[in-house]
Structure 1
Amino acid sequence: MLQVTLLISLLLVHHTTLSHEVQKGCGEDAQLRCSEIEDHGPDRDFVAVTWYKVEKDKWGILRLKKDERLDNTEKYDFHREAMMGEKYSLVLPRVTPNDSGIYECEVNAKVGGQIKGSRVQLTVHECVPPTEPTPPCSVMDMPIARSLASYGAVVVVKIVLSLLSIWVIRIISSRSQRSNWCS
C-alpha cells in the first residue's frame, strides 16, 4: 500500500514524457516542439512555459508567460543563443554536436494544478567540412613541330659544346707537347 501511495504522489508532482526525437545536421536550425502545448492547445490553463536542457542537472534556457509577446521572453544564463518560437517551441540556431541531448518543455500550472512537461531528444550529426573537388592537372599539349624544334636545339647545343670542348683539349695538349719539345 505504501508503494502505491508513493507512486501516485510522484505522478501528481511532476509528469514528464519523452515525446519525440529530432535529428539535425550540423549548422541547421533546430525547432523543438512542446507537445504538452501542441497536444492540448494554447487555450489550456497554464501560467508559463519554461525550457530546460537536461543533463546531470536541469539548465534553464527560456521562460515565457502565457499570452506574452515573444520579445518578452525571459532568458536564463544558457551557454548559447536560443529563442522561443511559435506555440512555445524552442529554436536553437546553427546547432552543433554539443547541442545534442534531452530538452524539457515544462508547462507551469496555476495554483493547485499539475506541472506537466514533455521531453525532446535532439541529436546533431557531426560537422563535416565540405570537400572541394581537386582541380584537374593542367597538362600543356605541345605541337609536334615545337617539340622537334626544342629537341633539335638541344642536340645542336650539345654538338657545339662537344666540339668546343674537343678544340680546347687539343689546344691545351698541343701547348704541353710544345713545351716538352722546347725543354
Structure 2
Amino acid sequence: MSARCYLHRLSAYLFVILSVRSSESLSSINAECGANVSLPCDATNQANLAYRSVVWYKLDGNKNGVVRKNQNGETVSYAGARTAMIGDSEELVLPDIRPEDSGFYLCHLSAKVGHSNKESKLLLNVSECVTQATPTSDSDWHVTDATAMPSSHEPCMGETTQVIQISTAQILSGFSAVAVVKGLLCVLTIWVLLAATRKEERRRMSFWS
C-alpha cells in the first residue's frame, strides 16, 4: 500500500471519529448553592454487562479522583477530595454543593477482561451563594439614657444599658410642673420690680419734702 493511500484512509478514519465525538451531547446540570445533587452516570447505558469498578473524576486541568466503588460495593474516597457518595445507579451524590464544585465530571466504568471500558462526562453549574440580611424595623429601637440603639436579646458582656420607659402621663406632669415654676418666677419678678419702683418713689418724695 502506498503512503498516499495510507494517509487518505487515515484521514477518513479520523474524520469519522471526530464526527462521532462532536455528535455526542454533553449533559449539563444547573443547581442552587447548598443543595444536594446527583450526577447520573450515562456510561451505564452503554455497558450491558458487569464491570469491575466505578470511578468518578473531576476534570479541572487534571483528572482528579473523587470517589471509587468496587465490584463488591465497597466505596473509597480519594485523598483531598470533597465528601461524595456513589448511588445504586452509579450516580455521584454531592451534598451541600458550593460554586467551587462547578466543573466537568467524568464517570469511568472499568470493564472486565476482554471488554471495553466506558466513560461519560457532564457539566455541573452551581449558582452563587446569596446571604439575605435581616432588616431592622422601627419597633426594634428603644429610648435609652444615652442614644437610641437597636434592641438585642443578647447584650454585650461588660456593657449595661438602662432603658427608661416614659409614659404619656409622666410627660404631661413634667410639662405642668415646668409651667407652674415659670408662672411663679414671673410673679416673683413682677413683685420685685414693683417693690423697687415703690422704694424709688418714696426716696424721691423724701428728697423733695
Q: Report the TM-score, using the length of structure 1 for normalisation.
A: 0.68
Distance in 2 of aligned mates of 1:49 and 1:92: 16
The residue matched to 1:3 in structure 2 has which SS? Answer: helix
Deviations 1:29-57 (A, max 9, x none): 111111122x347x523221110001111
Alignment of 1:24 onto 2:31? yes
Q: Report the TM-score, using the length of structure 2 for normalisation.
A: 0.61
Deviation for aligned residue 1:77 = 1.8
Question: Which amino acid in 1 is paired with 2:176?
Answer: G
The residue matched to 1:4 in structure 2 has which SS? Answer: helix
Distance in 2 of aligned mates of 1:23 and 1:62: 21
Maintained 8 Å contact 2:65/2:81 = no
Q: Cα RMSD over matched residues?
A: 3.6
Alignment of 1:2 onto 2:10? yes
Deviation for aligned residue 1:24 = 1.6
Which stretch shows the higher mean deviation, 88-97 or 108-117? 108-117
Distance in 2 of aligned mates of 1:116 and 1:10: 18
How many residue pairs get aligned? The number is 159
- Relative contact order (C-alpha < 8 Å, sep 6+): which is higher? 1
Aligned to 1:127: 129
Larger radius of gyration: 2
Deviations 1:48-69 (A, max 9, x none): 1110001111101111123x22
Deviation for aligned residue 1:124 = 1.0
Indicate which of 68, 75, 78 corresponds to 1:76.
78
Aligned to 1:110: 112
Maintained 8 Å contact 1:106/1:116 = yes
Maintained 8 Å contact 1:59/1:78 = no
Indicate which of 53, 65, 74 corresponds to 1:60.
65
Indicate which of 4, 29, 40 corresponds to 1:33.
40
Alignment of 1:47 onto 2:52? yes
Distance in 1 of aligned mates of 2:42 and 2:90: 10
The residue matched to 1:122 in structure 2 has which SS? Answer: strand
The sequence identity of aligned pairs, in percent, is: 33
Maintained 8 Å contact 2:109/2:118 = yes
Alignment of 1:100 onto 2:108? no
